[in-house]
């Protein structure tokens, strides 16, 4: 899965479009650093991650770059987990009130 990446449409179906939006926003610095890329398997081209979610192609996948992305995968994954933990914490605090 790491080499193939994660298809954005699969993520959107499982977690919703808002979650994919948040993932792309969280990963923005890593796109700039060249650790993460968005790949279109149909055209075999990299895609800029600045597009409306309703224009997601089933062929778009989120991938770590080789070798830099794989070397810094713990940093990238930590950013995603921290974002998810922050979201869960906010939901928990709202339900407590």
Domain assignment present for residue 80? The answer is yes
Tell me, yes or no, whether 1 lies in a domain: no
How far apart are the C-alpha atoms of 62 and 73, rounded to whole Å? 13
Give the pLDDT band (50/70/90) at residue 12.
confident
| Per-residue confidence (pLDDT) for residue 22, from 0 to 100 | 87
Number of domains in the chain: 1
* pLDDT, tens only, 46-84: 888 776 666 777 788 999 999 999 999 999 999 998 887
User: Domain range holding 35?
Assistant: 6-96
Q: What is the pLDDT of residue 30?
A: 93
The secondary structure element, H or E, covering residue 47 is strand 45-47
* Range of weakest confidence among 1-5, 7-11, 70-74: 1-5
Residue 88 has pLDDT above 80, yes or no: no
């Amino acid at each position: 899965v790491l080499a193939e990446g994660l298809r954005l449409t699969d993520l959107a179906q499982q977690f919703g479009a808002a979650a994919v939006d948040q993932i792309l926003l969280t990963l923005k610095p890593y796109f700039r650093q060249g650790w993460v890329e968005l790949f279109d398997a149909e055209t075999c081209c990299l895609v800029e991650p600045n597009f409306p979610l309703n224009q997601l192609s089933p062929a778009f996948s989120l991938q770590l770059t080789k070798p830099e992305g794989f070397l810094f995968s713990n940093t990238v994954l930590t950013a995603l987990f921290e974002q998810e933990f922050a979201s869960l914490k906010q939901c928990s605090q709202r339900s407590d009130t």
